[in-house]
Amino acid sequence: MDILIIGGGGREHTLAWKIKQSPLVGKLYCIPGNAGISEIAICKKMDVEGDFEPLAQFVVDNNIDLTLIGPEDPLANGIVDYFEEKKLSIFGPSKAAAEIEGSKVFSKQLMVKYEIPTAKAEIFDDADEAKAYIERVGAPIVVKADGLAKGKGVIPCRELDKALKAVDTIMVEKAFGKAGDRVVIEEFLEGEEASFIAFTDGKTILPMASSQDHKPAYDGDEGPNTGGMGAYSPAPVVTDEVHELIMNQVMEPAVNGMAAEGRLYKGVLYAGLMIADGKPKVVEFNARFGDPETQAVLPRMKSDIVPIIQACIDGNLSEIQMKYTNKPAVCVVMASGGYPVKYEKGKVITGLDEANALKDVTVFHAGTAKDDDNVITNGGRVLGVTALGDDIKGAIDKAYTAVRKISFEKAMYRCDIGHRALNR
């Protein structure tokens, strides 16, 4: 079968890399792709967030059998509904189902209704009322833009002044556009974060290996939140007991609740969790594969991913089993200097071949492009350098050995990815 992947980041390169390994796959396409994806797939530049008709026509013209959506925006904008109306096979949740990520307000209300453990919260559409509430309850507190903000619309605030400024940033200055028309202001959860990602056909839930992301830009979890500066899998904080609680208290109520709301959820459901004293609470739901968690999870997956995706679409996921290697994986994100605020593009990247040549190392491209014979930076997060190891320390050491072989002007990365797993 011929497959099209929509997206051009590290997550999509990892999906392309994994899908390409399937004996079921013939041609692999990607829109728009990146420099790394272009080595294994046919890439084409096309708008993926506006009119879906050209995308659908591309699928028809090229006899593509399956389309897979990487980023959240096309899902929130209804690409799955559009393709299904055209009788085209596509993997991902409908527009109504994708609202679990597209609206923090909807997601919070769903969790409250179906008794999914989460932070206490209030919802505001007026900035002055939001700030008055914050002044009344104090800090630490978390301010969230309601809509999609590319992973940057959640602002944890340990000081009152920062929380008040966060409201202005989101609601008054409109840093995230219409996504900031409403805010969710919720209690600050203490504990250890984990990412729990699962395939579902709307009935059966097939969990992937656990993982942990590192959101803050700098070592020691300092600095502004980013789309993710690295990840590792598995996450030791997700013990067998915690795994069972997540399935029983989070994933099953969410999938069943969405079905009860008339929003049958098919695709990948991601729960971002805070775990304290062995008990999980949901920080957020996402309607797609995580990034950079996918770069740490999929290299550990031994099973062919294509039959799993097809089973989600067909509704027979209960017939599928999934296997992982016991070897842990670590992904270190190399970003452009200044990310996640201002950064420059067009810097030449060297050392990619040397890093990829290392045993059990794969360099996944995110913000990259080709300029003649050079690979250049083309985004904030540039590369995800992933390594498998016999243990977590071995995986960390291999990943950083590979990172040190790669260079581009003003490259930045965290030096402590995986530190919580090491501490355990």
Answer yes or no: is 63 within a domain: yes
Query: Count of residues for the chain?
Result: 424
Average pLDDT over the chain reads 96
CATH number at residue 62: 3.40.50.20
What's the predicted TM-score (pTM) here? 0.95
206 and 255 assigned to the same domain = yes
Q: pLDDT tens across 192-222, in order?
A: 999 999 999 999 999 999 999 999 999 999 9
Residue 144: its pLDDT value, please?
Answer: 96
Question: For the chain, what percent of residues have pLDDT higher than 90?
Answer: 96
Q: 């997601």: which residue's tokens?
A: 107
- Say how far apart CA 179 and CA 154 lie, in whole Å: 11
| Same domain (yes/no): 152, 233 | no
Q: Which domain holds residue 200?
A: 192-319
- Asked if 60 and 157 sit in the same domain, the reply is no
Residue 281 lies in a domain: yes
Do residues 37 and 12 touch, judged by C-beta distance below 8 A?
Answer: yes
Domain-located, residue 324: no
The verdict on residue 14 lying in a domain is yes
Other CB atoms within 10 Å distance of the CB of residue 307: 15
CA dist., res. 331 & res. 415, Å (int): 11
Cβ(233)–Cβ(296) below 8 Å: yes
Query: Please, are residues 162 and 118 in contact by the beta-carbon 8 Å criterion?
Result: no
pLDDT grade, residue 29 (50/70/90)?
A: very high
The pLDDT tens digits of the residues spanning 317-348 come to 999 999 999 999 999 999 999 999 999 999 99
Report yes or no on 160 lying in a domain: yes
Which CATH number does the domain housing residue 153 bear? 3.30.1490.20
CATH number at residue 348: 3.90.600.10
Q: What DSSP string runs through 33-63?
A: --TTGGGTSEE----SSS-SHHHHHHHHHTT
- Report the CATH number at residue 263: 3.30.470.20
pLDDT of 50 over the 80 cut: no
**306 and 333 fall within a common domain:** no
Predicted confidence at residue 240, as pLDDT, reads: 97
d(CA 190, CA 275): 8
Mean pLDDT (whole number) for 69-73: 95
pLDDT of residue 364 exceeding 90, the answer is yes
pLDDT value of position 51: 87
The pLDDT-based confidence of 151 (bands split at 50, 70, 90) is: confident
Asked whether residue 308 falls in the same domain as residue 200, the answer is: yes
**Residue 8, pLDDT score:** 96
Cis peptide before 140 (omega within 30 of 0): yes
Given 288, 319, 350, the domain boundary residue is 319
- Residues 301 and 354 both lie in one domain: no
Of 92, 114, 149, which residue sits at a domain end?
92
Backbone angles phi, psi at 407, to 5 degrees: -145, 150
| DSSP class of 180 | G
Query: Measured between alpha carbons, how far is 145 from 166 in angstroms, rounded to an integer?
Result: 10
In a domain? residue 104: no
- Domain C-terminal end among 319, 352, 381: 319
